[in-house]
Amino acid sequence: MTDFRIVVVNAGVSDPSSTRLLADRATQRVASLAAERGHDVAVQTIDLREVLPELPAALSSQLLGPKFQAAVGALAQADTIVAATPVYKAGASGLFTSFFQVLDNDLLIGKPVILAATAGTARHALVVDEELRALFAYLRTLPVPTGLFASTEDWNDKALGERIDRAAFEAGLLMESGFATAVKDESWRRYQHEYGSAGGTELSIDLGTDLMRLAQGGTLKPRDQNR
């Protein structure tokens, strides 16, 4: 029986892809460390280039095609996420950011995330902490303290391997803690949810309030009108 599920979101579009390579190295290290601690781990990779044909409809109308729905389902079941993007013009790829902008704001609450990015030059190194960390904070995930960035010259530097080890260890501890499950089971209602997110099951709505009566086309009670 699988103890944990790791889902990789890879925005690299080339083949082979340095972005996919970085994501795979981080994922393998998380899985290896978890195995050393007695856990079975399943890994699933979402290559966003395969979802790309369905992205325009998702952005414009929130209609999700079958591959997009499968990706959402995988992320909903994930215990840890590895999110990796190439950097273009000092920012994460449009494919990467558009994918996460389409997702329901409640989908990833409390999930540990390893943030990873690749670029041709070290000048883009701050994208992980300045852009990606902000995006995933908005989605209320738990980005691990150690971000991963690899430029062309980093691949032969042992420091990259050390950062991967550190990020994987941090993700593993968060995954083992069961924080995301505890949040959903014990304090879900303490979060501010959008109406209808997560199927509406996270909200208790009193249809008898003045506001809800007006929203349904009703009128205020006479005693309310005289206030």
Contact 3, 24 (CB under 8 A): no
pLDDT tens, residue by residue, 124-148: 999 999 999 999 999 999 999 999 9
Mean pLDDT within 57-61: 93
Q: How far apart are the first and last CA of the chain?
A: 62
Rounded CA gap, 127 and 3, in Å?
32
Confidence at residue 28, expressed as pLDDT on a 0 to 100 scale: 98
Q: Could you report the per-residue pLDDT of 163-214, keeping only the tens digit for each?
A: 999 999 999 999 999 999 998 887 777 777 765 455 444 444 455 556 555 5
